[in-house]
Structure 1
Amino acid sequence: MTPAVKALIVLGVVALLFVTEAIPLAVTAMSGAIAMGLLGIIPVKTVFSGLSNSTVVLFAGMFVIGAAMFHTGLAQKIGTTVVRFTGTSENGLLFGTMLIAAVLSSVTSNTGTTAALLPVVLGICQVAKIPASRQLMPLAFGAGLGGIITLVGTPPNIIVAGALKNAGFQPFGFFEFAWIGIPLTVVGIIYMMFIGKYLLPKAELSADAAVDAEAAKEATASSADPKKMWIAGLILLGVVVAMALGLKWLPLEVAAIIGAILAVLTGCLKEKQAYQGIDWVTIFLFAGMMPIASAIDKSGAGKMIADAVVGAMGGAPSPLLITAVLFILSAGLTQFMSNTACTALLAPIGISIAKGLGASPHAVLMAIAVAASCAFATPVGTPPNTIVLGPGGYKFMDYVKAGTGLMVVCFIVSLIVIPLVWPFFPK
């Protein structure tokens, strides 16, 4: 049995376990890396090399900075201010909710953003007599769209940038994702305001949700510290500016860790809270998938998959068709499995296919990353969707109805914008 076949078998098992989540995602990823080492596909000493990857450090730093925003009450304060400014009409509230969720998610965790804004939106829905079900799903969708805007907005963006760098290509810049992220966010908000909202149920706010909202608001108010809010905001601003400038002497991961250290030293959050703010599942999932991606590439498995995909499309498909197919595949998988796992799984395959066509892989990988963030059609596609499930009184089919249309809109916009910004055959 060739190394390529062995790698494909391991990859198939990993993919199956990702979809079914029969065992924890992080355990699956690390087990896959270990299997690749024990089977001799990659050197055993490189099995845990992903843990030393600079991207893992970047993840950790940004998780801590994001947690500082929530612990100081800054995220909640921003949310309340924006929603108050946009008013309490259904469309005004929907616009304000999605806008602030998108802005916050572009530089912090979309899960944390949704959790922080949930009690704010619930409270306003109570006062305005608007069913929470009309606002909470748009909140989750806004957080998902906003994450696409910057390099650190969502794990898939960092993964494709790292995959390009590891393959010897120029990685995406910090704000380069905004070329597609901002149009998708704008179109997504418009869609939800004029079409999507009619596909949402009109479930009334439950008594339990109302009590939870009030308790959360009180907890936030008691922990809010104006001075620490300012400090947390300045730290985040400083880190984002440093990353955006692309300073050669200050790598992204170093800027993120400096910001995280400052957040703890200034008392924006305690050391224990900093550790708790790190999403360790994402850390180990990414660290485990790095060696797997390397094994797929070096064993020839990636090329084998690429040849099969190209062959199934007639042998010489257009790069646009390949991009469309990988977008649909990524968007389909991410409805039931981690967007991080989905991107890590497809990124090396996308690079191999692009190489086979002699095309730049940037457009293909951007499509994979964007599609992985379009987890709108199920309540388990992304944590924000799950967070609003109970408070919004939603059922599985509510996500299918409202989310599928948004996915189609994102697909169309992506196929128009991505090739224009990242040409398949740059001059």
Structure 2
Amino acid sequence: MNTLTICLIISLLTVISYVWGKISMATTAMISFAAFVITGCVEPNDALANFGNSNGIMIMSMFVVAAGLQRTQFVKMVATSVNKFSGGSLVKVMTGYVIITIILSQFIQSPLIVFGIMSPMMAATCKDMNINPSKVMFALGIAAIATCSAMPLGSGATVSAELNGYLQANNYTDFVVALTDPMKARFPVLIVCAIYCIFFATKVAPDISVAATADENGRRKQEDQKPLPPFQEKAGYIIFILTTLGLIFQQSIPRSIVAPAWMICMVGAILMVVTGVLKGREACASMNIPMYLLFVGSMTMGSALSASGAGAVVGDFLAGMAGKVGNPYIIGFIFFLVPFLLTQVMQNRAVMLIFIPIAIQACKSMGANPVGIIIMVQAACLTAFMTPMATPAVPMYMAAGGYDLKNVMKQSVIPAILFCVVTVFWTMTVIPMY
């Protein structure tokens, strides 16, 4: 039995266990982690490196930063103000939070960070409105994921340059991706995503009780705590604001005078403890270790699938199929759907590295314009949100909403179909292949 077959079997069993739910997701992730190493699908040192992955550090750090903000009175004041302004209307609440999330997603390239910034205030608003976080956290999560870098602002301004780099590397420079082409292709999805998250996502979200999403005694202890002294109260605000500003402007400040995103998050977390906003044990308790282990297991699965060549096999098959299909809309549908599905179990960057060159070569052989196709491939990889393997933001919103994989999958079906249909139809119309 070759490595590819073994890797696929382990991956299938892992996903089945996640859906089955009889074994905790963290335990399943670690069993999967060990299986990939023991069978040789992943080198031991490569697997071990996933425990120190920068996204994992950001997840843990943002949990602490968020807990520090929640310890202050700021989130309570925000929640009270939002509730007063909305008049108790969940639609108005979602409108404000979703719009702010989409704006932040244009300047911060990581949906994980955007969600980490917004979720503490959303959680406080839920508490003030007496609704469970499970009704809103999925919507907030996909708003951060599906709209990331959709506009030519901040990190989004580099998308066209990256795609042109792929065209040059594959010697197909007859076509050029303009600065506004990615926005032209993705803007309708941004609008559809906003409308769905504001008006419809909360209606199909599960209503999971607070007792099921967090330890009840721990929550009571937090509620019974006295307000922070003035210094710690102000420190909590300042640290959170500076962390947020550092992440927003991190891409535009010269690298020589700014730390990477994971370091900004870690420093923010450390300062929350050093300044006394959180006690050491409170900071440790805020880190969701099961979700971190799920993240590590997911990264390991993605690495194994990439190393096994599974993505390349699928990609080569698609290229051959595209050459036989004459309808541009069907070709577009194939090159969006397959990367979208594959990114649910592989790292999005790895899928892009495989599929964008394949899409370019397929278009080159047909003498077609590849611009719309490669924008769709990238969009498909960036908007994966159906499993914890898709992007680090998913484990974070699963923790915030108390979701298991079944909850996430059920909520994902409608937006996945919407985004696929809108993206393919619109992009193939405004940026045609012929």
TM-score by length of 2: 0.62
Distance verdict in 2 for CA 1:71–1:404, change over 3 Å: same
Alpha-carbon distance in 2 for matches of 1:180, 1:75: 36
Q: For 1:263-282, what aligned pairs fall within 5 Å after superposition?
A: 263-282=272-291
Task: Please list the CA deviations of residues 146-187 of structure 1 after superposition, one character each: whole Å capped at 9, or x if unmatched.
Answer: 455569xxxxxxxxx9xx9xxx99xxxxxxx99999975654
Q: Which residue of 2 aligns with 1:207?
A: none
Letter in 2 for 1:29: A
Alpha-carbon distance in 1 for matches of 2:12, 2:41: 15
Aligned match for 1:141, one of 133, 139, 142: 139
Alpha-carbon distance in 1 for matches of 2:68, 2:2: 49
Q: Which residue of 2 aligns with 1:44?
A: 44
Q: Which residue of 2 aligns with 1:320?
A: 332
Q: Which residue of 1 aligns with 2:241?
A: 234
Distance verdict in 2 for CA 1:97–1:366, change over 3 Å: closer
| 8 Å Cα contact 1:327-1:411 kept in structure 2 | no
Shift of 1:372: 0.8
Letter in 1 for 2:85: F
Q: Which residue of 2 aligns with 1:337?
A: none
The answer on 1:21 being equivalent to 2:21 is: yes
Q: Which residue of 2 aligns with 1:128?
A: none
Alpha-carbon distance in 2 for matches of 1:357, 1:192: 31
Q: Which residue of 1 aligns with 2:383?
A: 370
Q: Which residue of 2 aligns with 1:117?
A: 125
Task: Please list the CA deviations of residues 274-328 of structure 1 after superposition, one character each: whole Å capped at 9, or x if unmatched.
Answer: 2222222332223233333333223323323434555677766966323431476
| 8 Å Cα contact 1:110-1:384 kept in structure 2 | no
Task: Please list the CA deviations of residues 348-406 of structure 1 after superposition, one character each: whole Å capped at 9, or x if unmatched.
Answer: 4564344433479774354244241699xxxx9964895599xxxxxx99x97x98655
Distance verdict in 2 for CA 1:305–1:322, change over 3 Å: same
TM-score by length of 1: 0.63
Distance verdict in 2 for CA 1:23–1:178, change over 3 Å: farther
Distance verdict in 2 for CA 1:120–1:141, change over 3 Å: same
Alpha-carbon distance in 2 for matches of 1:274, 1:326: 40
Identity %: 18
The answer on 1:108 being equivalent to 2:116 is: yes
Structure 1 gaps, min length 5:
123-131, 152-160, 170-176, 204-211, 331-340, 390-395
RMSD: 5.1
Distance verdict in 2 for CA 1:309–1:40, change over 3 Å: same
Distance verdict in 2 for CA 1:404–1:312, change over 3 Å: same
Alpha-carbon distance in 2 for matches of 1:369, 1:113: 25
Alpha-carbon distance in 1 for matches of 2:252, 2:118: 24
Alpha-carbon distance in 2 for matches of 1:146, 1:364: 19
Q: For 1:6-85, what aligned pairs fall within 5 Å after superposition?
A: 6-85=6-85
| 8 Å Cα contact 1:26-1:285 kept in structure 2 | yes
Q: Which residue of 1 aligns with 2:364?
A: none
| 8 Å Cα contact 1:114-1:384 kept in structure 2 | no
Letter in 1 for 2:243: L
Shift of 1:407: 5.0
Alpha-carbon distance in 2 for matches of 1:347, 1:43: 20
| 8 Å Cα contact 2:63-2:287 kept in structure 1 | yes
The answer on 1:283 being equivalent to 2:317 is: no
Shift of 1:77: 2.3
Structure 2 gaps, min length 5:
105-112, 150-158, 168-181, 208-215, 362-372, 389-394
| 8 Å Cα contact 1:191-1:406 kept in structure 2 | yes
- Residue 48 of structure 1: SS of its match in structure 2? helix
The answer on 1:298 being equivalent to 2:307 is: yes
Letter in 2 for 1:342: Q
Aligned residues: 361
Alpha-carbon distance in 2 for matches of 1:297, 1:136: 33
Q: For 1:131-280, what aligned pairs fall within 5 Å after superposition?
A: 137=135, 141-142=139-140, 144-146=142-144, 148=146, 187-191=192-196, 219=223, 223=227, 226-245=233-252, 247-249=254-256, 250-280=259-289
Distance verdict in 2 for CA 1:384–1:79, change over 3 Å: farther
Alpha-carbon distance in 1 for matches of 2:14, 2:85: 47
